[in-house]
Structure 1
C-alpha cells in the first residue's frame, strides 16, 4: 500500500526533499537497531539514532570533509558516552562497539541513496535498485518455496535455500532488463547483467546480515512499524547493502 506513495514521492521530490525521507528511514532504522542491540541503554540509543540520522544532511554541504567530520564527531562523542556512563566494566566494550556499529550500518550505508539521487539519472538509479531487489526477493521466495532443498545458511536463516538464491539472481536480472526497456534506456545489456548480479548478491547478503543481527539479539523482527511485515530494517536490509554498490558503479562507470 505504501509502495505507490514512495514511487510518487521519488518522482516528484527534489534531492533535498528526498533526503528528508532518507533521514526519517535512518532515524527509525537506527532506533530499531539500538532497541534490539542495546535494550538496556535506551537513552544513549535514542541520542545516537538522532545524531546518525542528522549526519545525512551534511551531504548537501558540497564538501566531502563535512560528512567525514560528522561521522568522526559522532564516533568520538559516543566513545566518551561509553567512557563516562559506565555501568558494568565487562559490558563497556561490547556496548561501545554496538553504538558505533549502528552508525556504520544504517546512516552510512543509507546515505548512499541521497548520493544516488544527486547523480545524473539519479531517479532512474533509485528505481533500478528497487526493481532489482524486489524482483530478486520475489523470485527467491517462489523458487525457494517450490524447488528449495539445499539450505543456504541454516545457522542464520533456516528457510533460505541455494535454489531460491539462484532464482533470486535470475529474478534480479529480469528486473534489470525490464528497467532498461521501460524507464532506463541508458543502461547497456552489460550494465544490466553487472548491476543485477552485483546488487542481487549484495541484496541477499544484506538480508542475511540483518537476520544474523536479529538472531544474535534474540528477536524475530527488527520492529513492528510495518504491520505484518516487521520493522523498517526488515524492509531495508537488502537496500542497505545494494545502495553503496549502485552508487559507486554509477559514479565510476556511467558518469
Structure 2
C-alpha cells in the first residue's frame, strides 16, 4: 500500500514536470537525482569515507551541467579534473595503504555510473520529440518491470542469475521484454505517433534488455556491499538508485538510438 501511495503521488508530479519544464529546468531534476543517487552509492560502497563521499557526490552531480557548455572539450576537461582531484584526495587523506586503491576506484566508478549515464536524459530531452522519448523510456522500463514481476511470480521457474538476484527468473525476464514491447506499441498509438512499428520493437528490445541489466547491476552492487536497499528516501520503494537503476542503463541507449537511428 505504501508503494502504491508513493507512486500515485510522485508519478503524476514527474509527468507534469517533464511536460512543463524547459531543458535547463529538467537538468535540475537530473542533477538532484544524480546527487541523491551518488550519495547512496558512496554510502553503500564507502561508508568509512563519508566526507569524501559527500564531496564526490556534489561535484559529480554538478558535472551534469557541462552539457550546456556547447564545447566537446569541457566534458572531457570536467572528467579529467574530477579524476585528478579525487586521486589527490585519496593520496593525501590516506587511512590505510591497502585500502587506497579500491577507495579511489569506487569514487571514480560512482562518477561513471550515476551522473555520466543519467546526464543522457538531458541530451534526450534536448532532441526533437525529446519529451516523447523521455516518456517512452519510462513506459518501456515501467511496463517491463511490471510484466517481469507478474510473469515471474506466476510461472517463473528457471533462475536468471541466482548469485545476484535469486528471485528473478528467465520467464520473468522474457515477460518483461514482452511488456516493454507492449508499452512501446501503446506509446505509438497514444503520445508518440512518429514512432514506427519497427522502432517500437527496436527501441523496446534495446531499452528493455539494458533496463533489466541495469537492475541486475545495481543488485550486484547492493549484494557486494551487503545491503538490501540503496536507501530509504522513497517510502515503500527504497532509495533513488533502486528506482532509477534501469533508467541508468536505458537512458544512454535511448539517446544514441534516437540520435543515430530515429
TM over 0.5: yes
Q: Which residue in the other structure is 1:186 paired with?
A: 194
Give 2:15's aligned residue.
7
2:94 aligned residue (81, 86, 105): 86
Which of 145, 170, 178 is the aligned partner of 1:137? 145
Q: Give the drift of 1:18.
A: 0.2
1:118 pairs with one of 97, 109, 126: 126
Q: Deviations over 1:67-102 (max 9, x none)?
A: 121111111100111111111011110001000000
Which residue of 2 is the match for residue 106 of structure 1? Answer: 114
**Offset at residue 21 of structure 1 (A):** 0.3
Aligned length: 254
CA distance in 2, matches of 1:73, 1:40: 24
1:168 deviates by 0.2
Task: Measure the CA separation in 2 of the matches of 1:202 and 1:253.
Answer: 17
- State the Cα deviation string for residues 92-114 of structure 1 (Å, max 9, x = none): 10001000000000000000000
- In structure 1, the residue matched to 2:48 is 40
- Alpha-carbon shift at residue 253 of structure 1 (Å): 1.4
Q: 1:70 aligns with which of 71, 78, 81?
A: 78
Provide structure 2 residue ranges, at least 5 long, that are not aligned to the other structure: 1-8
The equivalent of 1:198 in structure 2 is 206
| Superposition RMSD in Å | 0.5
CA offsets 1:200-233 (integer angstroms, 9 cap, x no match): 0000000000000000000000000001110000
Distance 2:86 2:258 in 1: 34
Task: State TM-score, norm by structure 2.
Answer: 0.96
Counterpart for residue 252 of structure 1: 260
Distance in 2 separating the partners of 1:88 and 1:132: 45
Is 1:237 matched with 2:253?
A: no
Deviates more, 1:185-194 or 1:29-38: 185-194
1:28 has 2:36 as partner: yes
Once the two structures are TM-superposed, the CA of residue 152 in structure 1 deviates from its matched residue by 0.3
The whole-number CA distance in structure 2 between the counterparts of 1:14 and 1:119 is 12
In 1, the alpha carbon distance for the partners of 2:96 and 2:252 equals 36
* Runs (4+) off by over 6 Å: none
- 2:160 is paired with a residue whose SS is strand
Gaps of 5+ in 1: none
Q: Which residue of 1 aligns with 2:168?
A: 160
The aligned counterpart of 2:157 is: 149
Range that drifts further, 140-149 or 69-78 = 69-78
Q: Separation in 1 of the partners of 2:72 and 2:232?
A: 36
By how many angstroms is 1:64 displaced?
1.7
